Amino acid sequence: MAEDEVTEEQLAAIAAENEEQEQVNYKAPAVKSVKEIQDLDKDDESLRKYKEALLGSGPTEAGNAACVRVLYFVNSQKPPPTS
């Protein structure tokens, strides 16, 4: 076995280290619509212009928009497929 190859025991130790869960104290804020966010500071003209520059002056409702989380899993022990 070459010196730079990883043994099964080393792989198992690395996997065990990566499985440990870190405690996260983050709490997500309450869900608000774009309209609610825009209305928070509607009396502040400079902030309204800044938000309009970021969000645009289009419709304030997103309709049927969805947020999607994409996860990629890589199996480092299996070679990639060849065509």
Of residues 34 and 81, more confidence is placed in: 34
pLDDT of residue 6: 82
Q: What percentage of the chain's residues is helix, strand, coil (to nearest 5)?
A: 35, 0, 65
Q: What is the tens place of the pLDDT at every residue in 23-77?
A: 778 888 888 887 787 788 778 888 878 878 887 776 555 566 666 677 777 766 7
Single-letter amino acid, residue 78: K
Report whether 61 contacts 33 (CB < 8 A): yes
The pTM of the full predicted model, rounded to 2 decimals, is 0.30
Report whether 61 contacts 35 (CB < 8 A): yes
